[in-house]
């Protein structure tokens, strides 16, 4: 008799049990015509899981809910497989990695991904904390996998199945190549597992996300129309039903309105071509001062562009190095809206906390673009001052920030990031 799994076909938590079933030789079938939000609200379903969460496994002995518990049940129902290892220590390590991947990887992927899909409020500091915690977890996993093909022993165990399903959500939805490339052993592990026949039968062809989902735009709630208070005991009047208007078969669609141009695109042409400077910066590997810096000043157009220094207002809070660097990385990520009109350098300075954060930005136009000030909340966390290029000291400071000169203002550089 087949076990019945109540869940949608694309539920990554259901995949855990389905893949375990392939390895254990257990017959598990998805409940037919399952519809999330409908099927899991029925009285029959709520008898199996009173809070209506999926997946739920229907067995001859009774229902089992919570995806890891379901996968454990499926892995052990026959008991003639190696999904739980071959010794007590194997069992302990398998449970260890199941908990680790659930609490450290799956939870933080969810905290990063869910708000970007509109499932909860988007809070930049919370996102930075989630990404920081996820990177820490992936770093630990990467270290383990540097000398291990699988998490425990030399074959696939339940720990590999659950961890891979947890990674699947991240790889396919939000963890793009530039993010996962920091963890090459995790990448090798994930792609090895998802291409195993028993995984591929359930997951199909897996494709990595090529972009991080955008932050959902905040929509103002519609204001309810004011209604006049009804007189006491006033009988309700039935609304008159208007006859339905016949539908016009060939109703012309309104032509889409052209997208308004960015005000920066309406500025007079500049002799400085920003992409040419970015290419020069990226391609100069030697004699940086003589080639790139000289080239910058040859190209620079003070009428078409402006240079700005920025200093973080709350450096006393920068007591943890990786948190400070992630803070800067988050700022640069949110500046993506200005990539066509800006170039920036951000320095994290100091060998001991608190670390200082300073930056240099080149913007199209004579002022910092208004849409950047309005839409990137980080801007107000910095003091901004316009560079006076007639001042040789300020000009030299620009040079040093572009080339990551060390020491910078008498201190070592902890990190230097470029926005281009």
CATH of the domain at 96: 1.20.1050.10
Number of domains within the chain: 3
Residue 213 lies in a domain: no
| Final residue before a domain boundary, out of 176, 203, 230 | 203
Residue 339 lies in a domain: yes
Closest C-alpha among 289, 286, 300 to residue 403? 289
Residue 183 burial by Cβ neighbours in a 10 Å radius (0-12, 13-18, 19+): buried
Q: Is 5 left (phi over 0), alpha (psi -120 to 50) or beta?
A: beta
Residue 6 belongs to what H/E stretch?
strand 3-6
- Could you tell me the sign of the dihedral formed by the alpha carbons of 318, 417, 267, 299, in that order? positive
Q: Are residues 34 and 115 in the same domain?
A: no
Residue 414 belongs to what H/E stretch?
strand 413-419
**Cross-sheet strand order for the sheet of 56-59:** 28-30, 3-6, 56-59, 62-65
What pLDDT sits at residue 378?
Answer: 86
User: Could you tell me the mean pLDDT of each successive run of 10 residues in the chain, 420 residues long?
Assistant: 88 95 94 90 92 92 94 90 90 96 96 92 90 95 94 95 97 94 94 95 94 76 49 49 47 54 90 94 92 96 96 90 87 90 96 95 96 88 95 96 94 94
Residue 181 lies in a domain: yes
Q: Are residues 289 and 404 in the same domain?
A: yes
CB proximity list for 138: less than 8 A, separation 6 or greater: 105, 182, 183, 186
Q: Are residues 281 and 411 in the same domain?
A: yes
Q: Are residues 63 and 189 in the same domain?
A: no
Residue 151 lies in a domain: yes
CB 410 within 8 A of CB 402: no
| Final residue before a domain boundary, out of 77, 111, 136 | 77
What pLDDT sits at residue 383?
Answer: 95
Residue 225 lies in a domain: no
What pLDDT sits at residue 184?
Answer: 94
Closest C-alpha among 183, 87, 196 to residue 95? 87
Tell me how far the alpha carbon of residue 46 is from its chain's centroid.
33
Residue 416 belongs to what H/E stretch?
strand 413-419
Residue 136 CA: distances (Å) to CA of 75, 109, 147, 374: 29, 12, 18, 32
**Residue ranges of E strands in 56-136:** 56-59, 62-65
| Rounded CA separation 417/332 (Å) | 9
Tell me how far the alpha carbon of residue 173 is from its chain's centroid.
8
Q: Which domain holds residue 53?
A: 3-77
What pLDDT sits at residue 251?
Answer: 41
CB proximity list for 207: less than 8 A, separation 6 or greater: 172
Residue 250 lies in a domain: no
């Amino acid at each position: 008799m087949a076990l019945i799994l109540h869940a949608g076909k694309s539920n990554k938590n259901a995949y855990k049990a389905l893949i375990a079933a392939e390895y254990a030789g257990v017959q598990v079938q998805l409940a037919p015509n399952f519809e999330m939000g409908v099927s899991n609200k029925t009285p029959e379903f709520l008898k199996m899981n009173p809070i209506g969460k999926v997946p739920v496994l229907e067995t001859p002995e009774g229902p089992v809910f919570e995806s890891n518990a379901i996968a454990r049940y499926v892995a052990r129902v026959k008991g003639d497989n190696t999904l739980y290892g071959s010794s007590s220590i194997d069992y302990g390590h398998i449970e260890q990695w199941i908990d680790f991947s659930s609490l450290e990887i799956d939870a933080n992927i969810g905290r990063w991904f869910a708000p970007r899909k509109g499932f909860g409020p988007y809070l930049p500091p919370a996102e930075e904390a989630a990404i920081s915690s996820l990177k820490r977890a992936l770093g630990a996993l990467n270290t383990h996998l540097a000398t291990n093909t699988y998490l425990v022993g030399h074959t696939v165990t339940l720990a590999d199945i659950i961890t891979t399903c947890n990674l699947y959500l991240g790889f396919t939805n939000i963890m793009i190549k530039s993010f996962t490339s920091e963890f090459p052993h995790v990448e090798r592990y994930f792609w090895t597992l998802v291409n195993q026949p028993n995984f591929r039968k359930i997951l199909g062809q897996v494709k990595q996300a090529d972009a991080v989902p955008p932050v959902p735009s905040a929509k103002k709630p519609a204001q309810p129309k004011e209604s006049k208070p009804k007189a006491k005991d006033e009988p309700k009047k039935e609304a008159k039903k208007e006859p339905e208007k016949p539908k016009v078969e060939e109703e012309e669609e309104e032509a889409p309105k052209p997208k308004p141009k960015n005000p920066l695109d309406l500025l007079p042409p500049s002799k400085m071509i920003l992409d040419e400077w970015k290419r020069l910066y990226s391609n100069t590997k030697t004699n940086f001062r003589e080639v790139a810096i000289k080239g910058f000043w040859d190209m620079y157009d003070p009428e078409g562009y402006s240079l700005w220094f920025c200093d973080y207002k709350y450096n006393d809070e920068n007591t943890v190095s990786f948190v400070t660097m992630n803070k800067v990385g988050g700022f640069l990520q949110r500046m993506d809206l200005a990539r066509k009109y800006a170039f920036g350098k951000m320095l994290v300075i100091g060998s001991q906390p608190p670390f200082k954060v300073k930056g240099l930005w080149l913007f199209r136009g004579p002022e910092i673009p208004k849409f950047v000030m309005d839409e990137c909340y980080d801007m107000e966390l910095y003091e901004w001052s316009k560079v006076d290029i007639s001042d040789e000291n300020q000009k030299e400071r620009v040079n040093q920030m572009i080339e990551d000169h060390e020491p910078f203002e008498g201190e070592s550089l902890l990190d230097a990031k470029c926005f281009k």
